[in-house]
Amino acid sequence: MHHSLEITTQHKPISPSLTQTKEKQMAKSPETEHPNKAFGWAAKDKSGVLSPFHFSRRDNGDNDVTVKILYCGVCHTDLHTIKNDWGFSYYPVVPGHEIVGIATKVGKNVTKFREGDRVGVGVITGSCQSCESCNQDLENYCPQMSFTYNSIGSDGTKTYGGYSESIVVDQRFVLQFPEGLPSDSGAPLLCAGITVYSPMKYYGMTEPGKHLGVAGLGGLGHVAVKIGKAFGLKVTVISSSPSKEDEAINRLGADSFLVSSDPQKMKAAIGTMDYIIDTVSAVHALFPLLGLLKVNGKLVTLGLPEKPLELPIFPLVLGRKMVGGSDIGGMKETQEMLEFCAKHNITADIELIKMDEINTAMERLAKSDVRYRFVIDVANSLSPP
Ligand code: NAP
Ligand code: ZN
Protein backbone atom coordinates (compact mmCIF):
# COMPACT_ATOMS: atom_id res chain seq x y z
CA MET A 1 0.00 0.00 0.00
CA HIS A 2 1.16 3.48 -0.73
CA HIS A 3 2.49 4.77 2.55
CA SER A 4 0.61 8.06 2.37
CA LEU A 5 -2.65 6.14 2.49
CA GLU A 6 -1.56 4.70 5.78
CA ILE A 7 -0.96 8.18 7.06
CA THR A 8 -4.40 9.14 5.93
CA THR A 9 -6.12 6.35 7.74
CA GLN A 10 -3.94 6.77 10.79
CA HIS A 11 -4.22 10.46 11.02
CA LYS A 12 -7.45 12.17 10.48
CA PRO A 13 -8.28 11.09 7.27
CA ILE A 14 -9.32 12.87 4.60
CA SER A 15 -11.81 10.49 3.21
CA PRO A 16 -15.05 10.21 5.17
CA SER A 17 -14.88 13.32 7.28
CA LEU A 18 -13.50 15.51 4.53
CA THR A 19 -16.26 14.36 2.27
CA GLN A 20 -18.78 15.36 4.90
CA THR A 21 -17.04 18.64 5.32
CA LYS A 22 -17.03 19.10 1.61
CA GLU A 23 -20.80 18.70 1.67
CA LYS A 24 -21.11 21.19 4.49
CA GLN A 25 -18.84 23.55 2.71
CA MET A 26 -20.90 23.46 -0.40
CA ALA A 27 -23.62 24.97 1.73
CA LYS A 28 -21.24 27.44 3.34
CA SER A 29 -18.25 28.95 1.65
CA PRO A 30 -14.90 29.27 3.44
CA GLU A 31 -15.64 32.98 3.61
CA THR A 32 -18.95 32.69 5.43
CA GLU A 33 -18.79 29.47 7.47
CA HIS A 34 -17.42 31.32 10.52
CA PRO A 35 -18.27 34.76 11.86
CA ASN A 36 -14.83 36.36 11.57
CA LYS A 37 -13.29 37.39 8.29
CA ALA A 38 -9.80 36.06 7.70
CA PHE A 39 -7.20 36.50 5.02
CA GLY A 40 -4.24 34.43 3.92
CA TRP A 41 -2.56 32.80 0.96
CA ALA A 42 -3.77 29.46 -0.37
CA ALA A 43 -2.95 26.91 -3.02
CA LYS A 44 -6.10 26.39 -5.05
CA ASP A 45 -5.03 23.25 -6.92
CA LYS A 46 -2.10 20.90 -7.32
CA SER A 47 -0.08 23.37 -9.36
CA GLY A 48 0.78 24.47 -5.81
CA VAL A 49 0.76 28.14 -6.77
CA LEU A 50 -0.21 30.24 -3.76
CA SER A 51 -2.36 33.35 -4.08
CA PRO A 52 -4.49 35.61 -1.86
CA PHE A 53 -7.48 33.89 -0.26
CA HIS A 54 -10.39 35.20 1.80
CA PHE A 55 -11.86 32.81 4.35
CA SER A 56 -13.11 33.00 7.95
CA ARG A 57 -12.16 31.92 11.46
CA ARG A 58 -14.38 30.78 14.34
CA ASP A 59 -15.18 33.00 17.30
CA ASN A 60 -12.75 32.66 20.18
CA GLY A 61 -14.32 29.96 22.40
CA ASP A 62 -13.94 29.60 26.19
CA ASN A 63 -10.86 27.37 25.79
CA ASP A 64 -9.40 29.18 22.81
CA VAL A 65 -6.57 31.57 22.20
CA THR A 66 -6.67 33.88 19.18
CA VAL A 67 -3.19 34.45 17.83
CA LYS A 68 -2.17 37.36 15.64
CA ILE A 69 0.47 35.76 13.45
CA LEU A 70 3.87 37.47 13.26
CA TYR A 71 6.00 34.83 11.53
CA CYS A 72 5.44 31.48 9.90
CA GLY A 73 8.13 29.03 8.78
CA VAL A 74 7.94 27.21 5.45
CA CYS A 75 8.24 23.45 5.97
CA HIS A 76 8.76 20.97 3.14
CA THR A 77 5.48 19.41 4.30
CA ASP A 78 3.80 22.63 3.12
CA LEU A 79 5.33 21.99 -0.30
CA HIS A 80 4.33 18.30 -0.38
CA THR A 81 0.79 19.34 0.56
CA ILE A 82 0.28 22.16 -1.94
CA LYS A 83 1.54 19.83 -4.68
CA ASN A 84 -0.69 16.99 -3.48
CA ASP A 85 2.37 14.69 -3.30
CA TRP A 86 0.61 12.40 -0.81
CA GLY A 87 -2.75 12.35 -2.54
CA PHE A 88 -4.82 13.82 0.30
CA SER A 89 -4.68 17.55 -0.20
CA TYR A 90 -8.04 19.22 -0.03
CA TYR A 91 -8.01 22.59 -1.74
CA PRO A 92 -7.89 25.43 -1.04
CA VAL A 93 -4.94 24.77 1.27
CA VAL A 94 -3.58 27.54 3.49
CA PRO A 95 -0.31 25.95 4.66
CA GLY A 96 1.87 26.89 7.62
CA HIS A 97 2.56 25.09 10.90
CA GLU A 98 5.51 26.95 12.37
CA ILE A 99 3.63 29.90 13.78
CA VAL A 100 4.79 32.54 16.24
CA GLY A 101 2.45 35.34 17.21
CA ILE A 102 0.77 37.33 19.94
CA ALA A 103 -2.27 36.18 21.88
CA THR A 104 -4.91 38.82 21.21
CA LYS A 105 -7.88 37.10 22.85
CA VAL A 106 -8.16 34.37 25.46
CA GLY A 107 -11.33 32.49 26.44
CA LYS A 108 -12.60 32.48 30.01
CA ASN A 109 -11.24 29.00 30.78
CA VAL A 110 -7.79 29.83 29.50
CA THR A 111 -5.30 29.71 32.35
CA LYS A 112 -1.97 29.31 30.56
CA PHE A 113 -2.01 32.49 28.48
CA ARG A 114 -2.85 36.15 28.74
CA GLU A 115 -3.53 38.70 26.07
CA GLY A 116 -0.24 40.08 24.83
CA ASP A 117 1.74 36.87 25.44
CA ARG A 118 4.08 35.68 22.72
CA VAL A 119 2.96 32.18 21.74
CA GLY A 120 3.67 29.39 19.29
CA VAL A 121 1.45 27.04 17.30
CA GLY A 122 2.94 23.98 15.63
CA VAL A 123 1.75 21.07 13.52
CA ILE A 124 -1.21 19.91 15.59
CA THR A 125 -4.22 21.83 16.88
CA GLY A 126 -6.48 19.08 18.20
CA SER A 127 -6.61 15.52 19.57
CA CYS A 128 -9.15 13.33 21.40
CA GLN A 129 -7.58 13.84 24.86
CA SER A 130 -8.64 10.38 25.99
CA CYS A 131 -6.79 7.69 24.03
CA GLU A 132 -3.67 5.84 25.15
CA SER A 133 -1.44 8.21 23.19
CA CYS A 134 -3.08 11.37 24.53
CA ASN A 135 -2.83 9.99 28.08
CA GLN A 136 0.93 9.70 27.60
CA ASP A 137 1.36 13.24 26.25
CA LEU A 138 1.73 11.81 22.77
CA GLU A 139 -1.10 13.75 21.13
CA ASN A 140 0.95 13.50 17.93
CA TYR A 141 0.04 9.80 17.72
CA CYS A 142 -3.68 10.23 18.58
CA PRO A 143 -5.84 8.64 15.87
CA GLN A 144 -8.15 11.67 16.04
CA MET A 145 -5.38 14.24 15.83
CA SER A 146 -6.08 17.39 13.82
CA PHE A 147 -3.35 19.03 11.86
CA THR A 148 -3.06 22.80 11.77
CA TYR A 149 -4.02 22.77 8.08
CA ASN A 150 -5.57 20.45 5.48
CA SER A 151 -7.40 18.58 8.23
CA ILE A 152 -10.66 18.67 10.17
CA GLY A 153 -10.55 20.68 13.39
CA SER A 154 -12.30 19.90 16.67
CA ASP A 155 -15.26 22.04 15.56
CA GLY A 156 -15.76 19.82 12.51
CA THR A 157 -14.61 22.40 9.99
CA LYS A 158 -11.56 22.43 7.79
CA THR A 159 -8.33 23.80 9.23
CA TYR A 160 -6.31 26.58 7.63
CA GLY A 161 -2.71 27.24 8.65
CA GLY A 162 -0.28 30.02 9.36
CA TYR A 163 0.13 31.71 5.97
CA SER A 164 -2.63 33.96 7.29
CA GLU A 165 -3.18 36.92 9.56
CA SER A 166 -4.50 35.06 12.62
CA ILE A 167 -5.55 31.67 13.96
CA VAL A 168 -7.86 30.44 16.74
CA VAL A 169 -6.50 27.45 18.69
CA ASP A 170 -7.50 25.50 21.80
CA GLN A 171 -5.11 26.48 24.60
CA ARG A 172 -3.88 22.87 24.91
CA PHE A 173 -2.22 23.22 21.50
CA VAL A 174 -0.68 26.62 22.12
CA LEU A 175 2.91 26.88 23.34
CA GLN A 176 4.58 29.43 25.54
CA PHE A 177 7.34 30.95 23.47
CA PRO A 178 10.40 31.35 25.72
CA GLU A 179 11.76 34.85 26.16
CA GLY A 180 15.21 34.03 24.86
CA LEU A 181 13.99 32.82 21.48
CA PRO A 182 13.59 35.28 18.60
CA SER A 183 10.14 35.12 16.97
CA ASP A 184 11.42 34.81 13.40
CA SER A 185 14.31 32.35 13.67
CA GLY A 186 12.61 30.55 16.55
CA ALA A 187 9.46 29.78 14.55
CA PRO A 188 10.92 26.77 12.66
CA LEU A 189 11.53 24.99 15.95
CA LEU A 190 7.76 24.40 16.17
CA CYS A 191 8.00 21.74 13.48
CA ALA A 192 11.62 21.22 12.41
CA GLY A 193 12.87 21.51 16.00
CA ILE A 194 10.50 19.07 17.67
CA THR A 195 10.64 16.64 14.75
CA VAL A 196 14.36 16.05 15.25
CA TYR A 197 14.42 16.49 19.06
CA SER A 198 11.72 13.91 19.83
CA PRO A 199 13.35 10.89 18.13
CA MET A 200 16.76 11.76 19.53
CA LYS A 201 15.27 11.52 23.02
CA TYR A 202 13.02 8.52 22.36
CA TYR A 203 15.57 6.38 20.53
CA GLY A 204 18.38 7.21 22.96
CA MET A 205 20.48 9.20 20.52
CA THR A 206 21.84 11.70 23.02
CA GLU A 207 24.84 10.04 24.60
CA PRO A 208 27.70 12.58 24.56
CA GLY A 209 30.61 11.60 22.33
CA LYS A 210 28.56 9.32 20.09
CA HIS A 211 28.57 9.91 16.35
CA LEU A 212 25.40 11.21 14.67
CA GLY A 213 24.92 11.38 10.90
CA VAL A 214 22.36 13.86 9.57
CA ALA A 215 21.18 13.05 6.05
CA GLY A 216 19.72 16.03 4.15
CA LEU A 217 20.78 19.52 5.16
CA GLY A 218 17.55 21.48 4.90
CA GLY A 219 15.14 22.78 7.53
CA LEU A 220 15.02 19.66 9.72
CA GLY A 221 18.61 18.67 9.02
CA HIS A 222 20.27 21.92 10.04
CA VAL A 223 18.35 22.02 13.32
CA ALA A 224 19.33 18.37 13.92
CA VAL A 225 22.99 19.40 13.57
CA LYS A 226 22.57 22.11 16.21
CA ILE A 227 20.59 19.95 18.63
CA GLY A 228 23.05 17.09 18.15
CA LYS A 229 25.94 19.39 19.06
CA ALA A 230 24.01 20.62 22.13
CA PHE A 231 23.71 16.98 23.27
CA GLY A 232 27.50 16.66 22.93
CA LEU A 233 27.51 14.43 19.85
CA LYS A 234 29.98 14.31 17.02
CA VAL A 235 27.92 15.31 13.99
CA THR A 236 28.51 14.46 10.33
CA VAL A 237 26.28 15.86 7.60
CA ILE A 238 25.49 13.53 4.70
CA SER A 239 24.38 15.76 1.84
CA SER A 240 23.72 15.70 -1.89
CA SER A 241 24.85 19.35 -2.14
CA PRO A 242 28.64 19.86 -2.05
CA SER A 243 28.03 23.63 -1.88
CA LYS A 244 26.69 23.31 1.67
CA GLU A 245 29.96 21.98 3.13
CA ASP A 246 31.52 25.23 4.24
CA GLU A 247 28.35 26.45 5.99
CA ALA A 248 27.69 23.07 7.57
CA ILE A 249 31.03 23.15 9.28
CA ASN A 250 31.73 26.82 9.82
CA ARG A 251 28.28 28.15 10.50
CA LEU A 252 26.18 25.27 11.77
CA GLY A 253 28.90 23.56 13.79
CA ALA A 254 29.03 20.14 12.14
CA ASP A 255 32.26 18.21 12.67
CA SER A 256 32.42 16.77 9.18
CA PHE A 257 30.63 16.62 5.86
CA LEU A 258 30.08 13.77 3.45
CA VAL A 259 28.84 14.22 -0.08
CA SER A 260 26.56 11.24 -0.66
CA SER A 261 27.59 11.01 -4.33
CA ASP A 262 31.30 10.70 -3.48
CA PRO A 263 31.91 6.92 -3.37
CA GLN A 264 35.40 7.17 -1.90
CA LYS A 265 34.44 9.31 1.06
CA MET A 266 31.29 7.30 1.65
CA LYS A 267 33.36 4.11 1.67
CA ALA A 268 35.85 5.53 4.12
CA ALA A 269 33.01 6.37 6.50
CA ILE A 270 31.46 2.86 6.52
CA GLY A 271 30.75 1.58 10.02
CA THR A 272 31.57 4.85 11.81
CA MET A 273 28.21 6.18 12.98
CA ASP A 274 26.11 5.30 16.01
CA TYR A 275 22.96 7.04 14.81
CA ILE A 276 21.58 8.63 11.66
CA ILE A 277 18.70 11.07 11.33
CA ASP A 278 17.42 10.94 7.76
CA THR A 279 15.51 14.07 6.72
CA VAL A 280 15.66 13.61 2.95
CA SER A 281 12.36 14.67 1.38
CA ALA A 282 12.64 12.65 -1.83
CA VAL A 283 12.94 8.97 -2.66
CA HIS A 284 16.51 7.85 -1.95
CA ALA A 285 18.52 4.72 -1.19
CA LEU A 286 18.82 3.60 2.44
CA PHE A 287 21.54 1.10 1.67
CA PRO A 288 24.47 3.57 1.79
CA LEU A 289 23.13 5.12 5.00
CA LEU A 290 22.78 1.75 6.72
CA GLY A 291 26.36 1.02 5.71
CA LEU A 292 27.56 4.10 7.58
CA LEU A 293 26.17 2.72 10.85
CA LYS A 294 28.17 0.69 13.34
CA VAL A 295 26.84 -2.63 14.63
CA ASN A 296 23.71 -1.83 16.73
CA GLY A 297 23.36 1.50 14.94
CA LYS A 298 20.02 3.24 14.59
CA LEU A 299 18.59 5.02 11.56
CA VAL A 300 15.56 7.22 12.12
CA THR A 301 13.73 8.30 8.99
CA LEU A 302 11.77 11.54 9.23
CA GLY A 303 11.30 12.56 5.60
CA LEU A 304 8.04 11.71 3.86
CA PRO A 305 8.83 11.07 0.19
CA GLU A 306 5.83 10.52 -2.02
CA LYS A 307 6.74 6.89 -2.73
CA PRO A 308 7.93 4.11 -0.39
CA LEU A 309 11.63 3.52 0.14
CA GLU A 310 13.29 0.16 -0.31
CA LEU A 311 14.44 -1.40 2.94
CA PRO A 312 17.63 -3.45 2.51
CA ILE A 313 17.46 -6.32 4.96
CA PHE A 314 21.01 -7.70 4.82
CA PRO A 315 22.77 -4.80 6.56
CA LEU A 316 20.03 -4.74 9.20
CA VAL A 317 20.31 -8.41 9.99
CA LEU A 318 24.06 -8.71 9.74
CA GLY A 319 24.72 -5.65 11.90
CA ARG A 320 21.76 -5.83 14.32
CA LYS A 321 20.79 -2.40 13.03
CA MET A 322 17.46 -0.69 13.45
CA VAL A 323 15.30 1.56 11.29
CA GLY A 324 12.57 3.62 12.96
CA GLY A 325 10.36 6.59 12.29
CA SER A 326 8.96 9.48 14.27
CA ASP A 327 6.26 12.11 13.81
CA ILE A 328 6.80 15.59 15.34
CA GLY A 329 6.22 15.38 19.11
CA GLY A 330 3.58 15.84 21.82
CA MET A 331 2.72 19.22 23.33
CA LYS A 332 4.64 18.66 26.55
CA GLU A 333 7.77 17.59 24.74
CA THR A 334 7.43 20.47 22.28
CA GLN A 335 7.40 22.93 25.20
CA GLU A 336 10.43 21.13 26.66
CA MET A 337 12.24 21.38 23.30
CA LEU A 338 11.57 25.14 23.11
CA GLU A 339 13.09 25.61 26.59
CA PHE A 340 16.05 23.42 25.58
CA CYS A 341 16.66 25.50 22.45
CA ALA A 342 16.34 28.77 24.38
CA LYS A 343 18.87 27.50 26.92
CA HIS A 344 21.35 26.40 24.25
CA ASN A 345 20.75 29.40 21.93
CA ILE A 346 19.47 27.16 19.17
CA THR A 347 17.49 28.86 16.43
CA ALA A 348 17.06 28.18 12.73
CA ASP A 349 19.21 29.91 10.12
CA ILE A 350 16.54 31.65 8.12
CA GLU A 351 15.84 33.59 4.97
CA LEU A 352 13.05 36.01 5.86
CA ILE A 353 10.64 36.53 2.98
CA LYS A 354 7.57 38.59 2.23
CA MET A 355 4.27 36.82 1.67
CA ASP A 356 4.33 37.57 -2.06
CA GLU A 357 7.75 35.91 -2.39
CA ILE A 358 6.35 32.54 -1.31
CA ASN A 359 6.04 31.00 -4.77
CA THR A 360 9.70 31.67 -5.55
CA ALA A 361 10.65 30.31 -2.14
CA MET A 362 8.71 27.09 -2.86
CA GLU A 363 10.52 26.69 -6.19
CA ARG A 364 13.83 27.02 -4.39
CA LEU A 365 12.77 24.61 -1.63
CA ALA A 366 11.93 22.03 -4.30
CA LYS A 367 15.54 22.31 -5.53
CA SER A 368 17.12 21.97 -2.04
CA ASP A 369 18.19 25.60 -2.45
CA VAL A 370 17.39 26.86 1.02
CA ARG A 371 19.66 28.18 3.76
CA TYR A 372 18.15 26.71 5.80
CA ARG A 373 14.53 27.68 6.40
CA PHE A 374 12.33 30.25 4.73
CA VAL A 375 10.24 32.20 7.23
CA ILE A 376 7.43 34.49 6.14
CA ASP A 377 7.30 37.93 7.74
CA VAL A 378 3.52 37.62 7.94
CA ALA A 379 2.66 40.67 10.03
CA ASN A 380 4.68 43.04 7.85
CA SER A 381 3.83 41.70 4.43
CA LEU A 382 0.38 40.15 4.38
CA SER A 383 -2.31 42.59 3.40
CA PRO A 384 -5.59 42.04 1.64
CA PRO A 385 -5.50 43.15 -2.02
P1 NAP B 1 13.98 20.63 3.22
O2 NAP B 1 14.29 21.87 3.96
O3 NAP B 1 13.57 20.70 1.81
O4 NAP B 1 15.24 19.65 3.37
C5 NAP B 1 15.27 18.39 2.77
C6 NAP B 1 16.71 18.11 2.32
O7 NAP B 1 16.75 16.81 1.75
C8 NAP B 1 17.21 19.00 1.22
O9 NAP B 1 17.69 20.25 1.66
C10 NAP B 1 18.32 18.17 0.63
O11 NAP B 1 19.49 18.27 1.46
C12 NAP B 1 17.78 16.75 0.78
N13 NAP B 1 17.21 16.30 -0.50
C14 NAP B 1 16.12 16.79 -1.15
N15 NAP B 1 15.89 16.12 -2.29
C16 NAP B 1 16.85 15.19 -2.35
C17 NAP B 1 17.14 14.17 -3.29
N18 NAP B 1 16.42 13.98 -4.41
N19 NAP B 1 18.19 13.35 -3.03
C20 NAP B 1 18.95 13.51 -1.93
N21 NAP B 1 18.71 14.48 -1.02
C22 NAP B 1 17.69 15.29 -1.23
O23 NAP B 1 12.80 19.82 3.94
P24 NAP B 1 12.40 19.76 5.51
O25 NAP B 1 11.40 20.82 5.77
O26 NAP B 1 13.61 19.65 6.31
O27 NAP B 1 11.59 18.38 5.52
C28 NAP B 1 12.25 17.17 5.15
C29 NAP B 1 11.24 16.04 5.03
O30 NAP B 1 10.71 15.75 6.34
C31 NAP B 1 10.03 16.35 4.16
O32 NAP B 1 9.68 15.17 3.47
C33 NAP B 1 8.95 16.70 5.16
O34 NAP B 1 7.64 16.49 4.69
C35 NAP B 1 9.30 15.76 6.28
N36 NAP B 1 8.82 16.17 7.61
C37 NAP B 1 8.53 15.16 8.48
C38 NAP B 1 8.13 15.46 9.76
C39 NAP B 1 7.87 14.37 10.75
O40 NAP B 1 7.23 14.63 11.76
N41 NAP B 1 8.40 13.19 10.53
C42 NAP B 1 8.02 16.81 10.14
C43 NAP B 1 8.36 17.79 9.24
C44 NAP B 1 8.77 17.47 7.96
P45 NAP B 1 20.95 18.24 0.83
O46 NAP B 1 21.01 19.42 -0.10
O47 NAP B 1 21.83 18.37 2.02
O48 NAP B 1 21.10 16.92 0.14
ZN1 ZN C 1 6.61 20.78 9.19
Output the CA 306–ligand 2 centroid distance in Å.
15
Say whether pLDDT at 54 is over 70: yes
User: pLDDT digit string (tens) for 137-151?
Assistant: 999 999 999 999 999
Residue 9 binned pLDDT confidence (cut-offs 50, 70, 90): very low
pLDDT averaged over every residue in the chain: 94
- Residue list, ligand 1 pocket, CB within 6 Å: 75-77, 80, 191-192, 195, 216-221, 239-241, 244, 279-282, 284, 302-304, 326-328, 365, 368, 370
Checking if the pLDDT of 11 tops 70, the result is no
Q: Are 149 and 97 in contact (CB under 8 A)?
A: yes
**pLDDT tens for each residue of 63-120:** 999 999 999 999 999 999 999 999 999 999 999 999 999 999 999 999 999 999 999 9
Q: Is a pLDDT exceeding 80 seen at residue 24?
A: no
Ligand 2 centre distance from Cα of residue 188 (Å):
8
Residues 6+ apart with CB under 8 A from 27: none
Residue 281 to residue 370: CA distance in whole angstroms: 13
CA gap 137, 233 in Å, rounded: 27
From the CA of 140, give the closest atom in ligand 1: 40
Which of the four pLDDT bands, split at 50, 70 and 90, describes residue 154?
A: confident
Q: What is the dihedral of CA 229, 232, 238, 242, to 10 degrees?
A: 50
pLDDT of residue 161: 98
Q: What is the mean pLDDT of residues 117-131?
A: 97
Q: Which amino acid is at 385?
A: P
| Percentage of residues of the chain with pLDDT beyond 70 | 93
Q: What is the mean pLDDT of residues 207-230?
A: 98
Question: Whose CA is closest to atom 5 on ligand 1?
Answer: 218
Q: What residue's CA is closest to ligand 1, atom 17?
A: 282
- 283-307 exposure pattern, b = at least 16 Cβ within 10 A, e = fewer: ebebebbbbbbbeebbbbbbbbbbe
12 — pLDDT class (breaks 50, 70, 90): very low
